[in-house]
Amino acid sequence: MKMSEPKKIYVRPDKTVVLTCPHCGKQREVHTSLFKGKSKLRIKCCDVFRVIIEFRKRVRKTPQLKGTYINHSQKDSKGDLAVLDLSVTGISFTCLSIHLFKMDDEITVEFMLDDEHRTIIRKDAIVRNIRKSSVGCEFTSDGDLAFEGPLGYYIMYVLQ
């Protein structure tokens, strides 16, 4: 029997997840430490199914957006970027000058959403990780109000 595509499940604040068997519908609450690193699970009916356990605190989406950055820590150097993923608390992007970024660089990113209003988002951010082909940043403003603005609406309702 061919196994179905894995279902993404999110970890609750108490580090538990609710597993729902796609075959029999039975549910089970489990602490994530019991199966960290596993992707194949079994509940009661003996059918095996796959899951992806998402430990991130915020929903992250992968829109096809272009934009620009200004790296204030590198003499206000500028460049174009392509958004790889986006959340209300951060952004991951690729650009031609990844090798110039350093951890904790202070930058400003600007990009246009592909919503009906073509909303322009401009955010200050701090570089938190640098990989071979991407830069990951944490936004430095908004805090708990992040979901209330246009970016929060876009991520929760426009991107599906």
Q: Which amino acid is at 20?
A: T
**Percent of the chain having pLDDT more than 70?**
74
* pTM of the full structure: 0.64
Q: CA–CA separation, 151 vs 32, rounded Å?
A: 30
Q: Which domains does the chain have, with CATH numbers?
A: 7-54 (3.10.660), 66-158 (2.40.10.220)
pLDDT at 28 over 80: no
pLDDT at 41 over 70: no
Stretch among 41-50, 121-130, 136-145 having the lowest mean pLDDT: 41-50
Number of neighbours of residue 86 by Cβ within 10 angstroms = 24
Q: What is the pLDDT of residue 88?
A: 84
Please tell me which residue, 39 or 107, carries the higher pLDDT value.
107
Q: CA–CA separation, 80 vs 67, rounded Å?
A: 6
Q: What is the pLDDT of residue 38?
A: 56
Q: Mean of the pLDDT values across residues 33-57?
A: 66
Taking the alpha carbons of 56, 14, 18, 30 in that order, is the dihedral positive or negative?
positive
**If you ran DSSP here, which 8-state letter would residue 46 be given?**
S
**If you ran DSSP here, which 8-state letter would residue 136 be given?**
E
pLDDT tens digits along 69-94? 999 999 999 999 999 999 888 999 99
Please enumerate in sequence order all residues whose Cβ is within 8 A of that of 94, keeping only pairs 6 or more positions apart, or say none: 81, 82, 84, 133, 134, 135
Q: CA–CA separation, 72 vs 107, rounded Å?
A: 5
Q: Which of 146, 158, 148, 69 is nearest to 114 (CA)?
A: 158
pLDDT tens digits along 93-102? 999 999 999 9
* Whether 122 contacts 115, CB under 8 Å: no
Q: Which amino acid is at 103?
A: M
